Amino acid sequence: MAFVPFDDRDGWIWMDGAFVPWREAKTHVLTHALHYGSSVFEGERMYAGEIFKLTEHTERLHRSANLLEFEIPFSVAEIDAACKETCERMGLDDCYVRPVAFRGPEQVSVSAFHNKTRIAIAVWEWPSYFDPETKRKGIRIEWAKWRRPDPQTAPSTAKAAGLYMICTMAKMAAEKRGYSDAMMLDWRGYIAEATGANVFFVQDGVLHTPRIDAILDGITRQTVIELARAKGIEVQVRDIRPEELAGFSECFVTGTAAEVTPVSEIGEYRFTPGDLSLGLMEDYGRLVRRQL
């Protein structure tokens, strides 16, 4: 499929309460968010005409903005409605949904008292992040050079654009070497997350996943924990040391984009996608399409 730049597409984008033609959805080069990272966003998917856990995403968008010390001038209900209307306006019922809120160009300095908050919603067709065959075999992940920051140095639990800078750097470095992604440690040296997805491990039928005190508590992560516990699978949320990976038999990552994706290797450690990983991958697929 030919690459189409995101600023040169047909359609509509919802901005600050109104629809504008896709190519006209612009902001100034002196926008505060561009210079100081004052932006938060969400990644959502619509399946068969319904945005999965839409309100949970919108509530997190508001929480993220509050952590960055700004207020979104639209309520959760108003943003939910705008997300649905944008999908309808674009004629899509299976798509990716991207709300983003950011400080505008009124003031360009570290201080932002005079900056207005802008918000936009764009949607587009986006198939599975990884093709089905790759997912069943498991993706290859390398170790990231960068670590997730101490929550006392950055708003680690916000879905803030600035926190993804090191994720982009780590993922691009991994892809240059033939890997699909990179696994990041936290500032203490424990397993944290992939560049855009949470991680789970399997040992003797028990799921293990990192605590979320310094990483994003993914909505897909929460959903998978609920699915696993509903099936009687024990889930341990704890600190995980890198050397423990030698004792895990399966691994998978979770996220709106990745959904549930098995992993075959992380650095020097190898895993085999098995019944637990593949079963949860299938359960999640049925759930989001309201077949479970």
| 292 residues of the chain, pLDDT tens digit each | 567 899 999 999 999 999 999 999 999 999 999 999 999 999 999 999 999 999 999 999 999 999 999 999 999 999 999 999 999 999 999 999 999 999 999 999 999 999 999 999 999 998 777 777 788 899 999 999 999 999 999 999 999 999 999 999 999 999 999 999 999 999 999 999 999 999 999 999 999 999 998 888 999 999 999 999 999 999 999 999 999 999 999 999 999 999 999 999 999 999 999 999 999 999 999 999 987 5
Contact yes or no for 83/5 (Cβ under 8 A): no
Q: Are strands 95-103 and 50-51 parallel, antiparallel or unpaired?
A: unpaired
pTM: 0.95
- 217: helix, coil or strand? coil
Rounded Cα–Cα distance for residues 74 and 80 (Å):
10
53, 135, 159, 171: the catalytic one is 159
CB 100 within 8 A of CB 40: yes
Residue linked to tokens 């986006």: 126
Catalytic, 135? Answer no
Residue at token pair 């203490």: 188
Q: What residue ranges define each of the domains in the chain, with the CATH number in brackets?
A: 12-124 (3.30.470.10), 132-288 (3.20.10.10)
The answer to whether residues 210 and 235 touch, using CB atoms and an 8 Å cutoff, is no
Reference 115, options 100, 135, 101; nearest CA is 101
Interhelix angle 219-230/54-67, rounded to 10 degrees, is 130
